[in-house]
């Protein structure tokens, strides 16, 4: 028997929640400057694969797979309460995936007992491709948007912040310029007067061809968030960080910890 129940407190899954990657389709086409050094392109090209061909993966139905044996037989393979990170080698709203998306939404609806997180560079396609029962948003699904520079913030935020989403979350990564969010914080308010935008995550670019991220850009977005009660996370420094006029080359393994040491994180629920 599956662990479906009407109320979360009725969940009887004896297992601990997990963090799970769900790449339901693979392949993408470049959408903007942030895509220049896309890690998926680098990886596919290194093995002679064409990264621009979008294909369904063998993991397509992962969230709704059922255990066929063992003491948890009959439960979903992914435990209740798990955090499922979706579509990390594609874009959930890529046009080549239009025929598969409805089924993907149905799986997410079935697994209301987990959370789903995805990032898109195509917010202009979201409204047309939400499921019929979406209403004002599904609380367990977060669709974040990437704005890697001011140009993309100006283009994507007016569209994104107008969408019916339960969580509005912006990723400025790889950060390629200073970004002024204030016009969009001021223009898009919830009925109670707070900004629609609830969370901002910032990070530099990694990899051998990484572009420079200036620490003053990160600090500026942090200040904007703190002034407006918006949750902020400095995800990673990137490989090249310019701080106080000095360029730091930061090894991959230290990029997360160094960002954390900056002490800028201010996460709110």
Residue closer to ligand SF4, measured from CB, 38 or 239: 38
User: Which neighbouring-strand residues pair with 119?
Assistant: 144
Backbone angles phi, psi at 249, to 5 degrees: -100, 115
Residue closer to ligand SF4, measured from CB, 146 or 258: 146
Shortest distance (Å) from residue 214 CB to ligand SF4: 21
Backbone angles phi, psi at 195, to 5 degrees: -60, 145
Residue closer to ligand SF4, measured from CB, 159 or 262: 159
Shortest distance (Å) from residue 40 CB to ligand SF4: 5
Shortest distance (Å) from residue 86 CB to ligand SF4: 12
Q: Which residues contact 228 (CB under 8 A, 6 or more apart)?
A: 182, 185, 195
Residue closer to ligand SF4, measured from CB, 38 or 176: 38
Shortest distance (Å) from residue 121 CB to ligand SF4: 4
Residue closer to ligand SF4, measured from CB, 3 or 149: 149
Residue closer to ligand SF4, measured from CB, 30 or 227: 30
3-state secondary structure the chain: CCCCCCCHHHCCCCCCCCEEEECCEECCCCCCHHHCCCHHHHHHHHCCCCCCCCEECCCCCHHHCECCCCCCCCCECCCCCCEEEECCCCCCCCHHHHHHHHHHHHHHHHCCCCEEEEEECCHHHCHHHCCHHHCCCCCCEEEEEECCCHHHHHHHHHHHCCCCCCCEEEEECCCCCCCCCHHHHHHCECCCCCECCCEEEEECCCCCCCCCEEHHHHHHHHHHHHHCCCEEEEEECCCEEEECCEEEECCHHHHHHHHHHCCCCECCC
Shortest distance (Å) from residue 148 CB to ligand SF4: 9
User: Which neighbouring-strand residues pair with 248?
Assistant: 241
Shortest distance (Å) from residue 123 CB to ligand SF4: 12
Binding residues for ligand SF4, rule: CB under 6 A, are 28, 30-31, 35, 38, 40, 90-91, 121
Residue closer to ligand SF4, measured from CB, 176 or 225: 176
Residue closer to ligand SF4, measured from CB, 54 or 108: 54
Shortest distance (Å) from residue 261 CB to ligand SF4: 27
Beta strands at 213-214 and 246-249: parallel, antiparallel or unpaired: unpaired
Shortest distance (Å) from residue 30 CB to ligand SF4: 5
């Amino acid at each position: 028997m599956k662990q479906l129940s009407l109320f979360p407190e009725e969940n009887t899954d004896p297992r601990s929640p997990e963090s799970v990657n769900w790449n339901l389709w693979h392949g993408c086409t470049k959408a903007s400057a942030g895509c220049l050094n896309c890690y998926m392109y680098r990886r596919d090209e290194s093995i002679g694969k064409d990264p621009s061909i979008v294909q369904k993966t063998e993991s397509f139905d992962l969230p709704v797979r059922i255990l066929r044996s063992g003491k948890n037989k009959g439960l979903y393979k992914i435990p209740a309460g798990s955090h499922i990170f979706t579509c990390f080698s594609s874009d959930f709203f890529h046009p080549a995936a239009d025929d598969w998306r409805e089924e993907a939404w149905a799986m997410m609806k079935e697994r209301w007992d987990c959370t789903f997180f995805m990032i898109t560079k195509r917010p202009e396609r979201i409204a047309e491709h939400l499921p019929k029962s979406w209403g004002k948003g599904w609380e367990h699904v977060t669709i974040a948007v990437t704005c890697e520079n001011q140009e993309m913030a100006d283009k994507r935020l007016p569209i994104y912040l107008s969408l019916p989403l339960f969580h509005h979350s912006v990723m400025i990564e790889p950060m390629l310029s200073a970004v002024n969010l204030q016009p969009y914080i001021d223009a898009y308010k919830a009925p109670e007067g707070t900004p629609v935008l609830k969370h901002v995550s910032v990070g530099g670019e990694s990899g051998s061809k990484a572009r420079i991220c200036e620490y003053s850009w990160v600090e500026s977005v942090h200040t904007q968030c703190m002034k407006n009660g918006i949750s902020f996370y400095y995800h990673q420094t990137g490989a090249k960080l310019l701080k106080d006029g000095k360029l730091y080359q930061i090894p991959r393994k230290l990029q997360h910890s160094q960002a954390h040491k900056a002490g800028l994180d201010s996460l709110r629920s």
